[in-house]
Structure 1
Amino acid sequence: MNVKTQFQLSLMMFLEFFIWGGWFVTLGTFLGKNLEATGAQSAMAFSTQSWGAIIAPFIIGLIADRYFNAEKILGILHLVGAVLLYQMAHTTDFGAFYPYVLGYMILYMPTLALVNSVSFNQMSDPGKQFPFVRVFGTIGWIIAGSLISFFAWDSDQGVKDGLLSNTFLMTAGASALLGIFSFTLPKTPPKVDKNEKVSVSDMLGLEALKLLKDKNFLFFFIASILICIPLAFYYQNTSPFLTEIGVENSTFKMSFGQMSEVLFMLLLPFFFKRFGFKMTILAGMLAWTVRYLLFAYGDAGELAFMLIIGIALHGLCYDFFFVSGQIYTDTKAGEKYKSAAQGLITLATYGVGMLIGFWVAGEITDKFLAADETHDWQSIWTYPAFFALGVMALFVLFFKNEKIEYKDA
C-alpha cells in the first residue's frame, strides 16, 4: 500500500469517527437540556443506532455489494447525512428532532462497514496494515470531543446557552467534507454478481445460527446481548450525568475512554494468551461493575478521580469483552461461517442488545428524576453495576473454559 493510499484511508477513518464522536457523545445532554426530552424519549433517540445496525445489512447486501462502488455509496450517504445533521442543529423539540436522527443513523451505520470495505480492498496484509489506518478513527473521535470542550459547548454556561447545537453544525461540515472526499478514494467495485440471488438470511448472517448448537457459543451469544444493557447506560447517560453534577470539560474527559481503548488493545494479546478467553471476558465484565460503582459514588469534587477512572475503564470494558468476543466467534465459526457469524454477533449486540438496553436505561433514568429536574444518579448507576455482575456470575457458572488461539481481530 503506497503512502498516498494510506493517507487517503487514514483521513477517511479520521473523518468517519470524528463525525460520530462529534455529536453522539453529547446527545444525551442535548436532548435533556435543549429539547427537554424525557428519559424514554432519549432512549428512543439513542435506539436509532440499533435500528441503523439492523437495517444496515440490507443496504450493504442489496446495494453496496451488488450494484455500486463502495466509495461512491459512502460519498452519497455522507452528503445526505450532512443535510440531516444540519437540520438536527435547528430543531427545538423532540418531535421534530426524532425523524432526522432516525434517518441519519439508518444512513450512517452502513458507512461503518463501507469504510472497512474500502480499506481492506487496498490492503495486501490487513492484519498488519488495518490497525495503522483504523487508529486514526479513534484519534478523530478524541479530537472531536476535545474541540467540544475547548469551545466550552459542554460547559454549564454553554449548555444553558444552547451551544451544544453547534456539535451538529461541526459534524455536518465534516460529513459534507467526507462525502466529497469519498469520490476521490480508491475504487472499490461490487464483490457480488448483481444477478446472483442473495437471501435475507445471507445478509443478516442467520446461517450462522447453526453455531448456537454449541452450548458454550450459545451462552456467549446470550451474554453478548445482556452485557449491551449496561453498555447502553454508558452511552445514554454519561454525558448528562457529568454535565448535571458540574464536571468541567466533560466531553474531553469522556475521550479518555477512547484513549484507553488503544492501551487495552495492546494489552489484550498478552492477557488473552496468559489467562485464556474465559478469564479475559470475565475481566471485561467485572470492569463494567467497577466502572458503574465508581460513577455511583464519585462526584465532581474530591472524588472526581473516581469518575476519571470509571471513564478510563472503557477500554478494558470494551476491548476485553467485544474484541475478545470477535476473536472467539471467528475461531468457533471456521471458514464457512466466518462472515455470517460476525454479522450475527453485530446484529445481536448493536441491534437487539442495545435496543433493549437503551429502553431499560430510559425507564430507569425517568424513575429517578426529581421534581427539580435533577437525578438520583447513585441509584441509576447501581442498576447497570449489579446487572453486569449478574451476567458475570451466570457466565462463570455456565460457560465451560476452552482453549482459544489468539489472532488479531
Structure 2
Amino acid sequence: MNIKFRLILMNFMQFFIWGAWLLTIGAYWFQNKHWSGAQFGAIFSTMGISAIFMPALTGIIADRYINAERLYGIMHILGALTLFSLPMVTNPSAFFWVILLNMIFYMPTLSLSITVAYSALKRENIDVVKEYPPIRIYGTIGFIAALWTVSLTHSETTANQFYIASAVALLLGLFAFTLPKCPPLFKKTGDKSFVNMLGLNAFALFRTPRFAIFFAFSLLLGAALQLTNAYGDTFLHDFAAIPAYKDTIAIKYPAIIMSISQVSETLFILAIPFVLRKFGIKYVMLISMLAWVLRFGLFAFGDPAGGLWMIVLSCIVYGMAFDFFNISGSLFVETQIGPEIRASAQGLFMMMVNGFGAFFGSILSGFLIDKFFTLPDQSKNWHGIWLSFAGYALVIAVIFPFVFRYKHTPALQHAIEHI
C-alpha cells in the first residue's frame, strides 16, 4: 500500500476519534447529565493534565526503547477501552477519572502520529514540508466526518458519540502495527548525567532563548485553542432556549455549523508550505494570534439568525488560527532538532500546547465564567465571555513581536526546503 495513503488513513482515524466527542461532550454533559459548569471545566482539563507529562514521556520511550508506531497502536487500543466504558459512569467524579485515563492514552498519539509520519516520509526521501500538510488535511477531514456522523445520527447529547469514537480507536490501534517501522534512533553514549539517563535531553531546548519563548507562547495559544474547543458547541446549544432561534439551522445542527472550522482547516493547511517559507515562524505565529482575536470577537456578536454570517466567518477564521500555529509549529521544531530527540521534542511541543496550555485554559476559564459571566438564572453571558477571550488573544498578539526576536533567515529557509 502506498506510504502516503497509509499515512492519510492514519490521520483520518486519528482525528475522527477526537472529533466524535470533543465538541459535543459539552452538550452531553449539560443536557444529558445536567452536571455543573465548574465540574465540566475540570473534565476538559483532563487533556491538559495528561498532555503535561504523557507526550514527553512517550516521546522519550519512542526515542530510546520501542518503535513509535507500536507504541502508537498500544495507546489507541487502550484508549478504545476507556471510551467504551465512559457511558457506564454515573457521577461526575468518576467521569473525571475515566476521561483522564482516556486522555492519558490519547494525547501522546498526537505527537507520535507526527513522529511516525515524518520518519516514514524521510525514509522515502519525500519532502516533509511540501508533502505532509496535504496528508494532514485528511486528519481534518476525519474530524469533519466525525462531527457529521455524530450530528446526523443525533448523538450529540447521547452516549453514542463515545461508542463511535471507541470503535474507530480500536481500528486505528490495530492498523498502527502495519505502519512503516519507526525504530528508536537515540545513540547511547558515555554520558551518565541525570538528564541523559532519564532521556530528558529535549528539555535542554529551554536553554535556547528562541525555543524558551516559542514554548511559552505555545502554552498561551494552547489555552486559546482550549477555550474554543470547550465552549464553541455549548455556545450554539444555549441559543435553543431562546424561541426566536430554536428553529434555525444552527440550532438544529450545531455540530455541522462548527465543522465549518475544520473545512477551513483543509484550505489553510495547503497554504502552510508557502507562508512558512515566505514569512517564517514568527509572522506565521503572529497571524495565528490575530486570527484568534477575530475568532472570538465574531462569536461575541454573532447569533444563529441575522448574525449567522459572523458565526460562519468565525469558523472560517479558525482554520487559520489553528493551522498557522499547530502544524507550522511542529514543522519548526522538526527543522531545529536532530533525529535522535525527534519524538521527545515533538512531545515537548505537545506538552506546552495541549498540556500546560489546555490545563490552565480549562481551569481558569471555568472559574472566570462561573464567577463573572454566569447570570442568576444560570444562563451565560456569551457576549462578555467571547469578548474577554478576544482581549486575551489581543494582548498576546501585541506582546509577541517584541519578545520573540527571531529572524527568518535564508539558512532556515534552506533547512526547511531540504528537511
TM over 0.5: yes
Range class of TM-score, shorter chain: 0.7 to 0.9
Q: Whose relative contact order is higher, 1 or 2, with alpha carbons under 8 Å and at least 6 apart?
A: 2
* Residue of structure 2 aligned with 1:209, choices 206, 210, 214: 206
- Separation in 2 of the partners of 1:66 and 1:384? 40
Deviation at 1:132, TM superposition (A): 4.3
Matching of residues 8-407 of structure 1 within 5 Å: 8-57=6-55, 59-61=57-59, 63-123=61-121, 124-126=124-126, 127=128, 128-154=130-156, 159=157, 163=158, 165-192=159-186, 199=196, 202-203=199-200, 205-212=202-209, 218-246=212-240, 247-272=251-276, 277-326=281-330, 329=333, 333=336, 335=338, 339=342, 342-367=346-371, 368-400=373-405, 402-404=407-409, 405-406=412-413, 407=416
* Deviates further, 97-106 or 314-323: 314-323
- Separation in 2 of the partners of 1:60 and 1:375? 39
- Separation in 1 of the partners of 2:387 and 2:201? 35
Residues 17 and 141, structure 1, Cα contact 8 Å, conserved in 2: yes
* Deviates further, 379-388 or 36-45: 36-45
Deviation at 1:309, TM superposition (A): 0.8
Aligned to 1:122, what secondary structure does the other structure show? helix
Residues 207 and 337, structure 1, Cα contact 8 Å, conserved in 2: no
Write the deviation string for residues 323-358 of structure 1: whole angstroms up to 9, x where unpaired.
444455556x46599746554433222221221111
Aligned to 2:252, what secondary structure does the other structure show? coil
Write the deviation string for residues 34-61 of structure 1: whole angstroms up to 9, x where unpaired.
2333333222212211222222245424
The one-letter code sitting in structure 1 at the alignment partner of 2:299 is F
Residues 148 and 252, structure 1, Cα contact 8 Å, conserved in 2: no
Aligned to 2:378, what secondary structure does the other structure show? coil
- Separation in 2 of the partners of 1:395 and 1:107? 33
Distance 1:262-1:385 versus aligned 2 partners, 3 A rule: same
Deviation at 1:83, TM superposition (A): 1.7
Write the deviation string for residues 211-270 of structure 1: whole angstroms up to 9, x where unpaired.
12x5xx554443332233322211111111111113231112222212212212223444
Write the deviation string for residues 63-87 of structure 1: whole angstroms up to 9, x where unpaired.
4444444343333322222221111
Residues 288 and 388, structure 1, Cα contact 8 Å, conserved in 2: yes
Deviation at 1:93, TM superposition (A): 2.3
The one-letter code sitting in structure 2 at the alignment partner of 1:241 is F
Residues 291 and 311, structure 1, Cα contact 8 Å, conserved in 2: yes
Residues 204 and 344, structure 1, Cα contact 8 Å, conserved in 2: no
The one-letter code sitting in structure 1 at the alignment partner of 2:313 is I
TM-score (ref. length: structure 1): 0.85
- Separation in 1 of the partners of 2:113 and 2:282? 31
Residues 111 and 346, structure 2, Cα contact 8 Å, conserved in 1: no
Write the deviation string for residues 85-122 of structure 1: whole angstroms up to 9, x where unpaired.
11112223211211110011111122223333443443
- Separation in 1 of the partners of 2:282 and 2:189? 44
Aligned to 1:183, what secondary structure does the other structure show? helix
Query: Number of matched residues?
Result: 395
Distance 1:129-1:269 versus aligned 2 partners, 3 A rule: closer
The one-letter code sitting in structure 2 at the alignment partner of 1:386 is G
Aligned identity (percent) is: 35
Unaligned runs of at least 5 residues, structure 2: 241-250
RMSD: 3.0
Aligned to 1:125, what secondary structure does the other structure show? coil
The one-letter code sitting in structure 1 at the alignment partner of 2:369 is T
- Separation in 2 of the partners of 1:326 and 1:121? 13
* Deviates further, 320-329 or 52-61: 320-329
Distance 1:399-1:208 versus aligned 2 partners, 3 A rule: closer
Residues 8 and 185, structure 1, Cα contact 8 Å, conserved in 2: yes
The one-letter code sitting in structure 2 at the alignment partner of 1:380 is I
Distance 1:290-1:132 versus aligned 2 partners, 3 A rule: closer
Distance 1:382-1:209 versus aligned 2 partners, 3 A rule: same
Aligned to 1:245, what secondary structure does the other structure show? helix
